[in-house]
Structure 1
């Protein structure tokens, strides 16, 4: 798949499809497309899988785009300011991302849910019990709010992140929580009661702006 990412704070993604190629995308992500591109909404994977996607922040139906006869181009854009991250998914390289992060993927990539098995992590880790999982083989794209900082953790190396700022990670990274130490720090530090603790090996993407903070900013400006 050939693609181009343009822009800085509000990026766009242009994808070239060869004849016979197809991809699927989340709702509202398509910006424009050539006339030869066909678009169709469907319950990808059936109703049960559609319901699973809803739990991870996606729509019940996804939209499939294909170029049946000849090459065509499609433009996509995220719904909020941020970065578009390209991912090469393979059986040895799967990804876990926050709710609503999925943008689009080749037909050979599977989008499903990832369930946090640790109750405390699900309650206080900032990402909830259900996240999104990308597996299979092919290219996928996610959109992340704000700017992005990447970390490549070695085996056993840990990174502590403010809750709700973990945007994306390789499936080899484990997620847990850690309580902030010190009553004064908890009450006056402004970081809350818990931090998210990530342990390598694997790559992690941290976002500078969380959905909760963005919603709070918009709400405050409207008052």
Structure 2
């Protein structure tokens, strides 16, 4: 039995400045991170809530616990719902916080769950669970450069997320692995193990500019998919900071 509302989406705009248009039938709802909405049709009713709709029978304690998990995952406590209260189809459009690429993904195509870097999530169908997940092995969590906590997005319909620059999708079979620069890993599916390894010898670690550890993603079980970004926001900020004039 389907748990999430069934929504349609379209990515519009120019490369590096894209937006995602979600179309709702009458009575349908989508949810988003706070502040992601750009514009919407008059028949869309917007409301702030503590629930993403994945556990509609939760009491106040359950809703507060869900809000706390979203905060830990790098999102706001509040989920914004957009409901089509009209009699015809209506649109709501979402934007990204910085230049890059919008991606729409049906969670049914990736086993019902994807793990996203903090801040990557934009919007999804009502009923999608937005929670937290620990990032693989302890070495990967503490030294892989991606952080200890990822967002766990679980459901059976569409999720929209954002990547800096362009997005590259890599499918890894069981036993295949890939070394990923810090910050370049946007997300991964089931069938991927996340870890970290030393980036090389002493000279390489100190002078390559790539840090002491690299993230390592490996296909396990039946294999999985990783989503990579070509312009991590952290690198962009670093380049901007380095180009600013220094005070004497």
Q: Same fold (TM over 0.5)?
A: yes
Is residue 50 from structure 1 mapped to residue 67 from structure 2 by the alignment? yes
Instruction: Indicate conservation of the 8 Å contact 2:30/2:124, yes or no.
Output: yes
The alpha carbon displacement at 1:117 in A equals: 5.1
Q: Which runs of 5+ in 2 are unaligned?
A: 1-6, 53-62
Moved more, 163-172 or 51-60: 163-172
Query: How much has 1:116 moved relative to structure 2?
Result: 2.7
Indicate the residue corresponding to 2:230 in structure 1.
Answer: 208
Change (3 A) 1:4 1:116: closer
Which of 175, 186, 189 pairs up with 2:194?
175
Q: What number of residue pairs does the alignment pair up? A: 223
What residue is the counterpart of 2:102 in the other structure?
84
Partner of 2:43: 36
Normalised to the residue count of structure 1, the TM-score between the two structures is 0.94
Structure 1 position 218 matched with structure 2 position 240: yes
Show structure 1 runs of 5+ residues with no match: none
Q: What is the deviation of 1:193? A: 0.7
Could you tell me which of 143, 154, 168 is aligned with 2:162? 143
Tell me the C-alpha RMSD between the 2 structures: 1.5
Contact 1:28/1:79 (CA < 8 Å) preserved in 2? no
> Which stretch has the larger CA shift, 16-25 or 177-186?
177-186
Indicate yes or no: 2:80 matched with 1:73: no
Aligned to 2:10: 4
* CA-to-aligned-CA distance 1:104-162 (integer Å, 9 cap, x gap): 00012211101135332211111111110111211111111121121111111111111
- Give the secondary-structure state (helix, strand or coil) at the position aligned to 1:48: helix
Question: Would you say the 8 A contact 2:134–2:148 is kept in 1?
Answer: yes
Retained in 2: the 8 A contact 1:89–1:109?
Answer: no
Of 6, 14, 17 in structure 1, the residue corresponding to residue 24 of structure 2 is 17
In the alignment, is residue 196 of structure 1 matched against residue 215 of structure 2?
yes
Is the Cα contact below 8 Å between 2:136 and 2:195 reproduced in 1?
no
- Larger mean CA deviation between 5-14 and 32-41 belongs to 5-14
Change (3 A) 1:8 1:109: same
CA contact (8 A) 1:89 1:140 kept: yes
Equivalent runs, 1:90-101 vs 2, <5 Å: 90=108, 92-101=111-120
Equivalent position SS for 2:158: strand
